[in-house]
Structure 1
Amino acid sequence: MTVKNMNFRTLRLPLAALAGLLFLTGCPEKKPSETADTSAPAEAKLPKAPVFNADSAYAFTAKQVAFGPRVPNSKAHRATGDWLVAKLKSYGLKVMEQPFEAMTFDGTNIHARNIIAQYQPQAARRVAIFGHWDTRPFADNDKVKKNAPMDGASDGASAVAVALEMARQLSLQPDSLAPNVGVDFIFFDAEDWGHDDTTQQDLKNQLDGSGTDSWCLGSQYWAAHMLPANYKAEYGVLLDMVGAKNGKFTREETSRTNARTALDKIWGVASQLGYSDYFRYEDTGGITDDHVYTNRAGIPTIDIYHYNSPTDYFPAYHHATTDNMAIIDRNTMKAVGQTMLQTLYVD
């Protein structure tokens, strides 16, 4: 994930309207989370939806991790991307690749690619499922192995795995059991090579003042070069860090501000499915993540990510070598994946 926990997804104070987004790049001022409603509104009976297979999602996570750290310019990164493209094509989806080059905050020139796969590409109504498939090149939040390579099992791989299992399940449905929307699975690259003002104070951010955020390079590129061209969706969901034990997801401020209808819908579905222990009716401050740029591009997007506590924001494994398969939990992935699949079937 981006400065999460003051690491990637630069944490911010609660944001005003999106048009006036101001991102804090240092240690974010944190405030106690604001508790909103304690229960979801009553919902009609949920329609039938495919069953999300958590074992499959777990295996997809392990497969990505097995390639090695998915750092742009590396063999592991290239191999993982090729595997993702082949896997999505095997489900009969329309797959597009969006290669791009970028410079990171430390002056590294990288070759990257966003991967887009469309289910029911002919459908006029569309929903976007976003995630990032790269890993941070250094575990700068690690207390023992600072700056060592990291697996990114939850931060990146779990989100892609949930999306892959959603795509697999949808591909198995006959036309009579398909949802009334097309679904676009959009995997961003180079999301996690950003400058953390807390852990990297000794390093200069060479992108500072350039107009480019050091985080979320792939989503920034996609937002400026839409693929498909002139892309529109009713709403988008950014999945990030959705695979660890005891996952907790709160109603993040940028999500509430820009995609409240989608957020209420998803949290309501989760409640009906019995997943309110994961999807908390708790309002928390905004963070800088890929959804900032998809919202700017006109796609109302929420961010589902592991929120730790009012004082830490992100869990201890964030940007640390402990983000490995040992923390991955099928129950968390089931809660997220089943909720997302079910939501696609609720008009």
Structure 2
Amino acid sequence: MKNLLPRLGLLATATVLLTGCPADKKPAETATPPAAAELPKVPVFNADTAYAYTARQVAFGPRVPNSKAHIACGNYLVATLKRFGLTVREQPFQAMTFDGTQISARNIIAQYQPQAARRIALFAHWDTRPFADADKAHKNAPMDGASDGASAVATALEIVRELSLQPEKMAPNVGVDVMLMDAEDWGHDETFQAGVKNQLEGSGSDSWCLGSQYWAKHVVPTGYKAQYGVLLDMVGAKGGRFTREGVSLDKARSVVDKIWNTAAKIGYSDYFLFTDTSGIVDDHVYTNQAGVPTVDIYDHPPYGNDFFPAYHHTTADNMGIIDRKTMKAVGQTLLQVLYQE
């Protein structure tokens, strides 16, 4: 998913950026917020459809840039978003990975209600890591990325599918943009690849999040502005739990509060924990730099010192771990948030 070791000067925030190492101090618990006024009625997030979208992506095979599966899955995502009636743009780009591989990649941007002045962005990455380097038995094997990537894309797809079905009088008061970032996961992990030279070191470019780095420098649509963004990453696994990540708190605290408080109000506080944890390097680092205050929703183990679940960057990240209930908690919460704007 992302580089697990800290980088000097990467992010000038009060939050510590982590790699595979946990924070020195234990997460701080905060009080559950009080109940608020009655919430607006919203569409029902269909977890079965979101599960099917996840399975469809996985069925292409590992979505590694330069592969046939990657091209086919990208075409499928573009066609699906167009079928929902969204305005779709593709942003192709070339990049070099940390191991010197030249890749062809593309970000996919789709807009619901493109005429709306106020906009909310849903970010996710749609590629998969080319090797399961955290897998003790199969560290060079390809991985399905069922939760790490596919579940996030599927959740965004189901949200905009539901929105596209609503009559005009039932539409939210904001436009919604699905921003699918490519080449997020081909980064140098100092924990598992200590013996491999990072050829991007010192270049001014992080080895992770290549698509969001490119988008931040070449924003599409031109002049794009959003009220805020939500990055979805690893939101489909059984037992998934989401803490309040450090960069999100530093750059978009009000959005974190909005999402976590809403989740608690509609019965999903078992998933959205009122626990603060240190920051990580993910696409939201660069979308924040581009001027979109963005929070990161990703699966964080609720107990112990691990910052990522056991399936992270292993062959265990397959459809066997995907749980409709987890996707429902995330998707329904975000639909509720959108209709509160």
Residue 230 of structure 1 deviates from its aligned partner by 1.1
**Secondary structure of the residue that 1:96 maps to in structure 2?**
strand
Residue 40 of structure 1 deviates from its aligned partner by 1.9
**Secondary structure of the residue that 1:233 maps to in structure 2?**
coil
Letter in 2 for 1:312: D
**Secondary structure of the residue that 2:177 maps to in structure 1?**
strand
Name the CA shift for 1:12/1:206 in 2 (closer, same or farther; >3 Å). closer
Unaligned runs of 5+ in 1: none
C-alpha separation in 1, matches of 2:53 and 2:68 = 19
**Secondary structure of the residue that 1:259 maps to in structure 2?**
helix
For 1:294, the equivalent position in structure 2 comes to 287
For 2:234, the equivalent position in structure 1 comes to 241
Give the length in aligned residue pairs: 339
**Secondary structure of the residue that 1:87 maps to in structure 2?**
helix
Name the CA shift for 1:22/1:99 in 2 (closer, same or farther; >3 Å). farther
For 2:46, the equivalent position in structure 1 comes to 53
Name the CA shift for 1:24/1:337 in 2 (closer, same or farther; >3 Å). closer
Instruction: Give the alignment's TM-score, normalised by structure 1.
Output: 0.94
Q: Is the 8 A contact 1:11 1:24 kept in 2?
A: yes
For 2:320, the equivalent position in structure 1 comes to 326
**Secondary structure of the residue that 1:338 maps to in structure 2?**
helix
For 1:260, the equivalent position in structure 2 comes to 253
For 1:129, the equivalent position in structure 2 comes to 122
Letter in 1 for 2:2: T
**Pair 1:311 & 2:300 matched:** no
C-alpha separation in 2, matches of 1:66 and 1:88 = 18
Show the 5 A alignment for 1:7-18.
10=5, 18=13
Cα deviations by residue, 1:87-145 (Å, 9 ceiling, x for unpaired): 00000000000000000000000000000000000000000000000000000000111
Letter in 2 for 1:236: G
Counterpart selection for 1:281 from 251, 270, 274: 274
Show the 5 A alignment for 1:104-123.
104-123=97-116
For 1:87, the equivalent position in structure 2 comes to 80
Letter in 2 for 1:344: L
C-alpha separation in 1, matches of 2:57 and 2:95 = 23
Counterpart selection for 1:201 from 163, 169, 194: 194
Show the 5 A alignment for 1:36-185.
36-185=29-178
Letter in 2 for 1:173: Q
Counterpart selection for 1:338 from 321, 332, 336: 332
Unaligned runs of 5+ in 2: none
C-alpha separation in 2, matches of 1:33 and 1:318 = 21
Residue 35 of structure 1 deviates from its aligned partner by 2.2
Show the 5 A alignment for 1:200-219.
200-219=193-212
C-alpha separation in 2, matches of 1:21 and 1:112 = 31
Cα deviations by residue, 1:186-211 (Å, 9 ceiling, x for unpaired): 00000000000000011000000000
C-alpha separation in 2, matches of 1:29 and 1:276 = 23
C-alpha separation in 2, matches of 1:338 and 1:331 = 10
**Moved beyond 3 Å, runs of 4+:** 10-13, 15-18, 20-25
For 2:264, the equivalent position in structure 1 comes to 271
> Greater CA deviation, 301-310 or 288-297?
301-310
Instruction: Give the alignment's TM-score, normalised by structure 2.
Output: 0.96
Letter in 2 for 1:93: L
Letter in 2 for 1:233: A
C-alpha separation in 1, matches of 2:161 and 2:7 = 36
Residue 45 of structure 1 deviates from its aligned partner by 1.0
**Pair 1:28 & 2:21 matched:** yes
C-alpha separation in 2, matches of 1:188 and 1:91 = 19
**Pair 1:221 & 2:214 matched:** yes
Residue 147 of structure 1 deviates from its aligned partner by 1.4
Q: Is the 8 A contact 1:11 1:286 kept in 2?
A: no
C-alpha separation in 2, matches of 1:96 and 1:234 = 20
